[in-house]
A and B are shown apart, each in its own frame.
Chain A
Amino acid sequence: MPAVVEMLGITKRFAGFTANDHINLVVEKGEIHALLGENGAGKSTLMNILFGLYQPDEGQIKIREKAVKITDPNMANDLGIGMVHQHFMLVEPFTVTENIVLGVEPTKGLKIDIAQAERKVSELSERYGLKVDPRARIKDISVGMQQRVEILKTLYRGAEILIFDEPTAVLTPQEIKELMEIMQNLVREGKTIIFITHKLKEIMAICDRVTIIRRGKYIDTVSINETNVDDLAAKMVGRHVSFTVEKTPPQPKGPVLEIRDLIVEGNRGVDALRGLSLEVKAGEILGVAGIEGNGQSELIEAITGLRKTKTGSIKLNGSEIQNQPPRKITERGVGHIPEDRHKRGLVLDYSIGENMVLQTYYKSPFAKTGVLQRNAIFEYARKLIKQFDVRTPSEDTPARALSGGNQQKGIIAREVDRNPDLLIAAQPTRGLDVGAIEFIHKKLVEQRDAGKAVLLLSLELDEILNVSDRIAVIYEGRIVGIVNPEETDHDQLGLMMAGGAKS
């Protein structure tokens, strides 16, 4: 097969560090080629170079065996390169067709020929099995369909080489399955796909070859037939990674968190928790499994004081904490790794050092009579950064500038170091690579072994099954069953999560 994309010896330096250091990427026509690397390994930089957003400092790019210099995205388009961005670039109130033709509108006189555009969109949609309604408005369609609109945008512009930038990060398992089918359809019709990801299972399921980069350096290109998940993980992280969480049997003691008949109203005015009862003991990890939107968020918010409860009780170490202000609850010994780290977990414009004392800034030694003690704060931050391996140029770097994994490590450092009796971890590994996931799971188990209670909420069944000592299944605002992870599997949990009775 001839190579359609050749990026040879690509080097890109930013002030102070090298994002890409002589990276090679050779993609053959008609293949799905994965670009694998940890967060911050340089995948996005490389793709931005291919898409004309950055200029390489060294190296050569060939498209269809012709050397080219891609100076801007329009030129990339002309060369048949299309990018499906992770964060969609769609105009919400516009229709699907209007979004697709934006910038390349077919005209009839002075008017946009929407009818013709719609025909073409339908045609493309059918040909690749995209199932998109050209007249629907973006704001009314699901995330999965919005992504398919992004794919159509590139196809409409005649893209032959499609770059998918972490496309599955925002999708549900069902949508991921559909996306994989679409990708196979695209390849069958002669397109070439570059698939950026750090999810190994997806690579094994769908790709032909994979190029691995680590910390800006080219590591290897291998065929899927000649590799496996463990091998890929080791190449990506640079050491052996264990996927099973190593832990000894739990030694649970008395209850730390006791929730009785909790009723809490959700955002839409309907009760999101409808008489939920739950208990987490010291020295155990209780996993809460469930499909998104069954009351998980409201449960966390109620425990941490961010949401008012209607009736029922929440006891921490025997005393009631419901409807107390968040600070009181924090001070009583609750740590919380929030599900949305950008919304709740960090003040992105503060330095990572300042973020380390987000709940404790007013206490000694970080403050004396209302005056911040900068040295004490930064010294503490340096300690946590080292201890939790947060990769940051310095403690004075804005949290915004860190990669997702390192931001999350920062939050975990802060929450764990406060040594709370109850640690709530909500989707603690969402969007992170295997190395970071392994690290975070280890920390959760360490907390458990130190005799703390850990409440883990996750949408990833593998995570729940691997890490938890007991699993509570939440469905429509109630716990519908408690199971032992050793005695259950995906199918049983899936059934319970969908409201089927415990078998």
Chain B
Amino acid sequence: MNNSTSRWNAFLVPVIAVVLGILFGAVLMLLMGYDPILGYNLIFQGIFGSEYFLGETLRAVTPLIFAGLAVAFAFRTGLFNIGVEGQFIIGQLAAAWVGMSWDLPPGLHALAAVMVAMISSGLYAGFAGWLKARLGVHEVITTIMLNYIALFSANYIIRNFLKGQGERTADILPSASLTSEFLRTMFDGARVNWGLIIALILALVVWFLLWKTTRGYELRAVGFNPHASEYAGMNVKQNIILSMVISGMLAGAGGAADTLGVYGYMNISAGFTGIGFDGIAVALIGTNHPFGVILGALLFGGLSFGADNMQRVEGIPTESIRIVISMIIYFVAASAIVQSVLGYLRRRREVQAK
């Protein structure tokens, strides 16, 4: 085996998983008494049917890219960040606070709000990293707990310090907004915003950082083999903390984009948004590669958003698409199955070639 075939497989496995998942969904719709071709057609229409639909799909995809990047970054450095949900909330809150209470010129204000959100979430996630590096507490446990702390602390802070009209913060000032007239008109009034551009830039940054810099070399080495990294003179603990900080920053940027780009305020929320958890799925489909994450988010966000159209028009339950997504994740996770299908096809081709 060499690296080029393994890279090719890394690309092929998710593609085949998607095909298998969609086929599985078709069978499911048939069993439920619906026409799968009509169903998938409606999903397609729900995504590409109009500029507005396409723009709203991209709006739904944006937070998934951030969350997927956060999870994938941690994965690549040997950590499982289940706390993206909480870090996302911290980002939303910090952005809302800066957006409504600071006074800065347009553009700069938005930038400051995103920065503060990233730093806040980075520190928040870094705390879990510190607990792991110093005390050996597993990050899965701490980040899950920190999700709840983030959710309820945010609600408390909004209610007592940042409250606007209703169960939410005051509106952010226009100078902090990430909405884009250009994108809005292009997509016929959809709420797609600069957040999407930030997400794409961050994907590029993550790729560069992980594979092109000495820091990325260290972070990945520590993830693969902390003993060899220590032997080679790398600071293992520092790298664990840094990895969580960066992962948290990516999640925080997502929260900021949500507040500043889509809603303009933050709600008091009874439960989690689910975006952080969807990020785990997106990272898995994208094989934890930043560019894969973009594709994974497009697929995940597209199917979820398009499914609404399917339900609206034909009454096919959106849950069936959640099952399709679950099956895709299952096929990616159980890549051994897909690999064996691939191996079988390859062998057959070789036999035929003879």
Q: Give the contact-size bracket for chain B.
A: 20 to 34
In the bound complex, how far is the Cα of B209 from the Cα of A496, in angstroms? 54
Q: 1/0 per residue B205-246: CB within 8 Å of A?
A: 000000011111110110011011111111100000000000
A residues in contact with B235, CB < 8 Å: 325
Interface of chain B, main secondary structure: helix
Judge whether A396 and B2 touch: CB under 8 Å: yes
* Residue A318 is within 8 A (CB to CB) of chain B in the complex: no
B residues in contact with A397, CB < 8 Å: 1-3
Judge whether B233 and A347 touch: CB under 8 Å: no
Other-chain contact of B228, A325, A346, A361, A367 (Cβ < 8 Å): A346
Judge whether B221 and A347 touch: CB under 8 Å: yes
Within the complex, what minimum Cβ distance (angstroms) separates B7 from chain A? 10
A residues in contact with B218, CB < 8 Å: 361
Within the complex, what minimum Cβ distance (angstroms) separates A376 from chain B? 12
Which of chain A's residues has its CB closest to B233's CB? A327
Judge whether A344 and B221 touch: CB under 8 Å: no
In the bound complex, how far is the Cα of B4 from the Cα of A401, in angstroms? 13
Contact A338 to B231, CB < 8 A, known contacts A370-B214, A372-B212, A398-B3: yes
In the bound complex, how far is the Cα of B95 from the Cα of A348, in angstroms? 42
Contact A347 to B224, CB < 8 A, known contacts A367-B214, A372-B217: yes
Within the complex, what minimum Cβ distance (angstroms) separates B237 from chain A? 12
Which of chain A's residues has its CB closest to B231's CB? A344
- B interface residues (Cβ-Cβ under 8 A, vs A): 1-6, 212-218, 220-221, 224-225, 227-235
Q: Give the contact-size bracket for chain A.
A: 35 or more
Judge whether B231 and A306 touch: CB under 8 Å: yes
A residues in contact with B234, CB < 8 Å: 327
Judge whether A345 and B213 touch: CB under 8 Å: no
Interface residues in A285-327 by Cβ distance below 8 A to B read 304, 306, 325-327
Judge whether B2 and A358 touch: CB under 8 Å: no
Contact A351 to B214, CB < 8 A, known contacts A326-B230, A338-B231: no
Judge whether B2 and A336 touch: CB under 8 Å: no
Judge whether B213 and A350 touch: CB under 8 Å: no
Judge whether A371 and B217 touch: CB under 8 Å: no
* Residue A330 is within 8 A (CB to CB) of chain B in the complex: yes
Judge whether A361 and B231 touch: CB under 8 Å: no
Query: 14 more A-B contacts (CB under 8 A) besides A345-B231, A347-B228, A358-B231?
Result: A15-B1, A15-B5, A326-B231, A327-B232, A338-B231, A347-B229, A348-B224, A350-B221, A350-B224, A351-B3, A367-B214, A370-B213, A371-B213, A372-B213
Within the complex, what minimum Cβ distance (angstroms) separates B344 from chain A? 14
A residues in contact with B225, CB < 8 Å: 343, 346-349
Judge whether A358 and B232 touch: CB under 8 Å: yes
Other-chain contact of A304, B213, B214, B231 (Cβ < 8 Å): B231
Judge whether A362 and B227 touch: CB under 8 Å: no
Judge whether A345 and B228 touch: CB under 8 Å: yes
B residues in contact with A359, CB < 8 Å: 232-233
In the bound complex, how far is the Cα of B220 from the Cα of A361, in angstroms? 13
Within the complex, what minimum Cβ distance (angstroms) separates A51 from chain B? 20
A residues in contact with B1, CB < 8 Å: 15, 397-398, 401
Within the complex, what minimum Cβ distance (angstroms) separates A296 from chain B? 16
Within the complex, what minimum Cβ distance (angstroms) separates A480 from chain B? 29
* Residue A284 is within 8 A (CB to CB) of chain B in the complex: no
Contact A344 to B228, CB < 8 A, known contacts A325-B233, A393-B2, A394-B2: yes
Within the complex, what minimum Cβ distance (angstroms) separates B133 from chain A? 15
Contact A361 to B214, CB < 8 A, known contacts A306-B230, A326-B230, A393-B2: yes
* Residue A354 is within 8 A (CB to CB) of chain B in the complex: yes
**Which of A304, A344, A397, A398 gathers the greatest number of chain B CB atoms within 10 Å?**
A344
9 A-B pairs in the complex with CB atoms less than 8 angstroms apart: A327-B232, A346-B228, A347-B224, A350-B221, A361-B217, A361-B218, A362-B214, A372-B217, A394-B2
Within the complex, what minimum Cβ distance (angstroms) separates A119 from chain B? 40
Within the complex, what minimum Cβ distance (angstroms) separates B244 from chain A? 20
